[in-house]
Amino acid sequence: MSTLSQNTDGFPVDLNGFVRQCAWCRRVADIEGRYRLVSPTLVHGASHGCCEACAIRFLSRGGKKPLAA
Ligand SMILES: [Zn+2]
């Protein structure tokens, strides 16, 4: 048992024990929950979500859906 909340890659984990990583830009959330850490690869066992930047990017883009005929 470790009191340090880090996974084996050294990234901080959330209360559920998961590293939070953006599945799009692969940024990793730090202990404050901000996606400021950069990982070159997908973190094994991470909880893959969407960071704020990517959320904004997709939301702004998702306003218009191409209509399929
Ligand atoms: Zn992102």
33 C-alpha to ligand 1 centroid (Å): 13
For residues 62 and 56, the answer to whether their CB atoms sit within 8 Å is no
Count: domains in the chain: 1
Domain that holds residue 41: 5-59
pLDDT at position 59 over 70? yes
Residue 64 lies in a domain: no
1 C-alpha to ligand 1 centroid (Å): 31
- Coil, strand or helix at 18: coil
31 C-alpha to ligand 1 centroid (Å): 17
pLDDT at position 62 over 70? no
Residue 21 lies in a domain: yes
49 C-alpha to ligand 1 centroid (Å): 8
Cα gap 51→47, rounded to integer Å: 12
* Chain-centroid distance, C-alpha 15: 15
pLDDT at position 2 over 60? no
Query: By C-alpha distance, which of 42, 34, 41, 33 is closest to 15?
Result: 33
Residue 35 lies in a domain: yes
51 C-alpha to ligand 1 centroid (Å): 4
Instruction: Output 52 or 67, whichever has higher pLDDT.
Output: 52
pLDDT at 63: 59
What average pLDDT score do residues 10-33 get?
91
Confidence of residue 5 (pLDDT cuts 50, 70, 90): confident
**DSSP labels for 31-42?**
TTS-EEEE-SSP
pTM (2 decimals)? Answer: 0.72
